[in-house]
Amino acid sequence: MSRTPDVTVAAVAEAAGRFLVVEEKINHRLLFNQPAGRVERGETLLAAVVREAREETAWRFEPAALLGVYQWRNPANGRSVLRFAFIGTVSDHDSTQRLDRGIVRTHWFSRLELEERETRMRSPLVMRCVRDYLAGQRHGLEAISRLDLRSAASVTTIATVSEVSP
């Protein structure tokens, strides 16, 4: 088991009380998640979240704030995930764009609709991010604007992250 967590980013976009989520096929199951994915080598966290949102939803995501940094250990495989969740807006939807591999479709769900599907979330991080967003949690982008994969992986040793239990 690796000691270094998988560094991921997630886009939390809300419009008129509805949240952008993807429905994705994981291990033969259809699950829901925010547009999210791994940070690639040489890529900043901000560039990664913009790229992942576009690839998975065909929307252009503009980060406005850091929602939070979350750590979760997947009980199925023991892997640790370090998620940097960003709040932002979407625009410039390209309806002709093919969605990333594994993404079945995108949805705009209300908080209630998400809660009704909570057992089908990819991880507890999805609802934790929605709840933190609704609670008004926000952090400036300045402190993390230049973090890349290598420096983000070391964040657990230099900052407090929110541990999320299954």
DSSP 27-86: TTEEEEE-SEEEPPTT-BHHHHHHHHHHHHHSPEEEEEEEEEEEEEE-TTT--EEEEEEE
pLDDT for res 4: 81
CA distance 52 to 30: 19
Tokens of 49: 């979240």
> Under CATH, to which class is 6-159 assigned?
alpha beta
Q: pTM score, two decimals?
A: 0.89
Q: Is the dihedral of CA 71, 75, 76, 79 positive or negative?
A: positive
Token pair 């079945």 is found at 104
Q: What value, to the nearest 5°, has the Cα angle with vertex 147 and ends 144 and 98?
A: 100
Structural domain spans, the chain: 6-159
* Amino acid 15: pLDDT: 97
Q: pLDDT 10s per residue in the chain (166 long)?
A: 457 888 999 999 999 999 999 999 998 999 999 999 999 988 999 999 999 999 999 999 999 999 999 999 988 888 888 999 999 999 999 999 999 999 999 999 999 999 999 999 999 999 999 999 999 999 999 888 777 777 776 665 444 445 555 4
